Amino acid sequence: MPTQTKENYLKAIYFLTTSGEAVTVTALGKSMQVSKPTANNMIKKLAANGWINYEKYKPLQFTERGELEAALIIRKHRLTEMFLVEIMGFGWEEVHQIAEDMEHLKTEELFDRMDEMLGYPTVDPHGSPIPDKEGVFDRKSYASLSSVGVGGKAELRAISDSSVALLQMLNEKGISLGTKFTIIKIEEFDKSMVVNYRNAEEVSLSHEVCKRLMVDETTYSVRVSKDLKS
């Protein structure tokens, strides 16, 4: 049975894998904020449990069993976040740490009941996909607001960085999932954007913020790039 530490490593490997980054011992150690020897020691334990395939000097790869285990941990986390927001009235900026604790609970019936009460949601409060009980994600293809050109229109669908500071700033500006932006101007110097939304006055958003706001590309009338890392 996975320990909490092992589960955290499985999650880290999953997120590195889905980011497209090669999952090396060095990358995993950096993600977990531990030394390379510490990460290497845990990798051997995960391999012994049958969750990853490990060969020296080669990127780590999940086994089918390991990938499912990681997806189900993420499922518990994101269902908890959704439950806290939709049923208990927490803000989307308040739920991450609570979900970090609850994702390690082994009472599957609790999460099944959450899922049922919520109406089987496919995304969490930040727009990230919630895996089903088979570990399958319903992934959507979004691009960053920073890739939309002047005159373009886009609807906010997800936040790529759900840090408390960013979410609090979005709260202050009245920005949430479903907000529809019109791009008024892009500053040449720093690529910050002047946008209009909800019939509000024009608001300036930094390039760093715009990179983290994932929008529905089907609503674009003008688009300059699909590079999410722009």
Looking at residue 2, what is its pLDDT? 66
Query: Do both 151 and 116 map to the same domain?
Result: no
Supply the CATH number for residue 45's domain.
1.10.10.10
How many helices, marked H, and strands, marked E, lie in the chain? 8, 8
Task: Report whether pLDDT(229) > 80.
Answer: no
CA dihedral 121, 173, 93, 23 (to 10 degrees): 80
The conformation of residue 96, written as its DSSP 8-state character, comes to: H
pLDDT of residue 38: 95
Query: Both 135 and 157 in a single domain?
Result: no
Residues 6+ apart with CB under 8 A from 192: 186, 204, 205, 206, 207, 210
What pLDDT does residue 108 have?
Answer: 93
pLDDT digits (tens, 9 = 90+) for 211-226: 999 999 654 444 333 3
Token pair 């895996």 is found at: 131
The predicted-structure confidence for 133-173, as pLDDT tens digits, reads as follows: 999 988 888 999 999 999 999 999 999 988 999 999 999 99
Percent of the chain with pLDDT over 70: 93
Looking at residues 92-103, what average pLDDT do you find? 96
Pairing outcome for strands 193-197 and 180-186: antiparallel
Region 126-132: mean pLDDT is 95
pLDDT band at 20 (very low <50, low <70, confident <90, very high): confident
pLDDT tens digits, one per residue of 187-217: 999 999 999 998 777 899 999 999 999 999 6
State the Cα–Cα distance between residues 6 and 46, nearest whole angstrom.
Answer: 7
CA dist., res. 170 & res. 94, Å (int): 13
Range of the domain at 164: 143-219
What is the distance between the terminal CA atoms of the chain, rounded to a whole angstrom?
A: 41
**Which residues are within 8 A (CB) of 83 and not within 5 positions of it... i.e. 6 or more apart?**
114, 117, 118
Q: Are residues 89 and 155 in the same domain?
A: no
- Do the beta carbons of residue 152 and residue 210 sit within 8 Å? no
pLDDT at 172: 94
* Whether 51 contacts 23, CB under 8 Å: no
Beta strands in the chain (DSSP E): 52-53, 61-62, 143-144, 153-159, 180-186, 193-197, 203-205, 213-215
Query: Within its chain, how far is the Cα of 195 from the centroid?
Result: 24
Asked if 156 and 203 sit in the same domain, the reply is yes
Q: What is the pTM of this model?
A: 0.87
- For residue 154, what is the domain's CATH number? 2.30.30.90
Q: How far apart are CA 115 and CA 87, in angstroms?
A: 11
pLDDT value, residue 5: 93
Q: How many structural domains are present in the chain?
A: 3
Which pLDDT does position 21 carry in this prediction? 78
